[in-house]
Amino acid sequence: MPEKHSIKIPGAPASEPASLEEPTTPREPLPPKPDQRGPEAVSPTGSPTGAPSTARAQSGQYLTTAQGLRLQDTDHSLKAGPRGPILLQDHHLREKITHFDHERIPERVVHARGAGAHGVFRSYGTAANITRAGFLAKDVETPVFVRFSTVLGSRGSADTVRDTRGFSTKFYTDEGTYDLVGNNIPVFFVQDGIKFPDIVHAAKPHPDREIPQAQSAHDTFWDFVSLHTEAQAHTMWNMSDRGIPRSYRTMEGFGVHTFRFVNAEGATTLVKFHWKPKQGVHSLVWEEAQIINGMDPDFHRRDLADAIEAGAYPEWELGVQTFPDTEDQMFEGIDLLDPTKFVPEELAPVQPIGLMTLNANPTNYFAETEQVAFHPGYLVPGIDVTNDPLLQVRLFSYLDTQISRLGGPNFGQIPINRPQAPVNDMLRDGMHQQAVHAGVAPYHPNSLDGGCPFLAGQDMGAFIDVPEELAASIKERRNPVSFDDHYSQVGLFFRSLSPVEQDHVIQAYTFELGKCYETSVRERQLAALANVDARLCAAVAKGLGLPAPSPSEQVQESKPSPSLSQVGKKWPVAGRIVGILADEGSDLAAVEAARQALDAEGIVPLVIAPAGGFLGSGNDGGVPVQRTYLTARSTEFDAVLVATPGTVAPDAAPGLDAKAAAPGDALDPRAVLLLTEAFRHAKAIATLDSNSAALKAAGIPADAPGIVSGKKVEGVIQELTGLLSAHRVWERFPAVSA
């Protein structure tokens, strides 16, 4: 009998098993896998070359530039000392980043799938003492355009995958365009931008099969982050519920880097940007995300557009953490130039400086959301950059990317990118030039055009680079020693979560690593988790069927930060969605009263009935139906109100819908399934009938947490609204791994 382990299981990412330790002995590139074959090796004109079909683009044992120059280091940009700015001289960095920027035509390499909206930002004026940026003066209103996005997937991928989200805002100020280009996670994968192509190549689908799409649950991603342990900080955030937000409207945003504010007197303050959603921070549970990806892959972009259309305008407060601009640029032992570190809000509270409201959807997706071009180097007077090595590379990379993606250097003239301030830049010609320039002297100084344009002084709103003294240093590829701590904040984040959130993190790591083929990759990541938290490592190892390793480093534990947990707070309910199960036998007057009461709270009520059209009749045409049992799923709703026993729908036939009723069923199983899922996902459920047959059919106890019943609509809606403010009925999720 053949041994059970001889069965060929597909999914090996490479032609040889991976080693546990990083390989260090030089060797030639691995051959293709047995199931792979390249095109025949012929010349550009079709002549045979005699080379084997397995000939590959890669050759040689050593990493080189595109011109064959061997490299000693590809993890550190060339800087003026470990803490100094990156040098333009770094030819390897420029070649590596430039090639990466031009890998996709015309789709974005990262952040390809996005959703956008127009809005307005109103400043509170509370930052006026630390920055002279005009749009942050008191009561100034500035038009904005925001683009949300996922990082890994293509334009055709799904919305609710576990991934980092982009949160980029274009401020059309009267001093020029300012772009705050951020994410929904405050820490990044890597510390130096020279590694950015590497982490994206590792996280994207495997290049041989172009799978998996929009996922990090595969070998190349975990191979990279387990070897580059600085990535553990970002990975921990992504494995938490933050990786699957409920909505863009309930998602935080972060500027990631430390920036510098400059006030009217020239004094400087270091800041980190935060976007705080007024509706609170809220995420999906894993099963919800999986169902949504099949039922409605456009869930997030639809949710954003529908909320704006319904008048439930999403709002975020912009806030800053502020720090003294000291010579060492450290705060409470945290290096402010390390983009893999965050500063707990208990150490530096977030100070609100303005409110952003998104109040209009784009007219045309391609012209606006697809063509909008962001750049962290689009600054205004009063805001400057720091020597963060990731930010320094982004200042080059974003501009270079837009030139390729948008067809030339004049992408700033596309309507969505045009500044709403006077432009006289002396830039001329180029592909897609739309301006008709006058004058004969596009240079400075000149006399032939009357000297125009002229230079401006600080008193005329000019941008002034902050004079920064650079210490005597050596030109080298190296990070400061403070960048070496890769674990302390990772453990701080995990221990700051509630028990149920910690369960979700454990489940996420177990799922992601369980999708990896190579045991060595799983073991290496477990070794990293052992340095983060022993209980986390043990639980994940148990799920993988592997032994839990001992820590290799002694990591100092930090005090938990309560602000990191999404559980236990109360939030406004405006913009929430409540599904109302009803049919012709329902008390339609009560259904209409419930609709009106929910609408008065800013909640969107959607009636779910056996068939479409209207329920009942009358002068007003009856109660309109927005969803049917066929088109509704629990994942769309934040809560459910039951006003029907779940009458069988006309299309309830197993041959039409596998979830539909069988002959003789008293209730439609799709209505029962909706309630079962809502209960399982800890959503509030209300009923206007204390003896609801639908709840009984779903096996939902009437006295379970978060179940509301009553005859009076007003009281039921009041209780339901109170439950909605907590996002979920968390008492239904007892911790399992504590």
Is the CA virtual torsion 540, 544, 545, 547 positive or negative?
Answer: negative
Catalytic residue from among 76, 111, 257, 274: 111
* DSSP β-ladder status, 176-183 and 604-609: unpaired
* Strand-pair partners of 120: 143, 357
**Contact status, residue 604 vs residue 576, Cβ threshold 8 Å:** yes
Lookup result for tokens 């803490």: 83
3-state SS of 230-253?
HHHHHHHHHHCHHHCECCHHHCCE
Name the DSSP letter for residue 64: B
Q: Is 183 a catalytic residue?
A: yes
Residues 76, 118, 183, 375: which is the catalytic one?
Answer: 183
Cα(702)–Cα(705) distance, integer angstroms = 9
The token pair that represents 694 in the structure block: 């639908």
- Indicate the burial class of 47 (C-beta count within 10 angstroms; 0-12, 13-18, 19 or more): exposed
Helix axes 91-101, 389-405, angle to 10 degrees: 40
Nearest to 113 by CA among 282, 250, 297: 297
Instruction: Print burial letters for 172-184: b (CB count within 10 Å at least 16), e (below 16).
Output: bbebbbbbbbbbb
**Residue 364 annotated among the catalytic residues of the structure:** no
Residue 260 dihedral angles phi and psi, to the nearest 5°: -125, 125
- Beta strands (DSSP E) in 393-474 are none
Q: Which amino acid is at 671?
A: A
184 in Cβ contact with 245 (< 8 Å): yes
Please answer whether residues 709 and 625 qualify as being in contact, where contact means their C-beta atoms are separated by less than 8 angstroms: no
Two tokens at 295?
Answer: 């039922």
Catalytic residue IDs: 111, 183
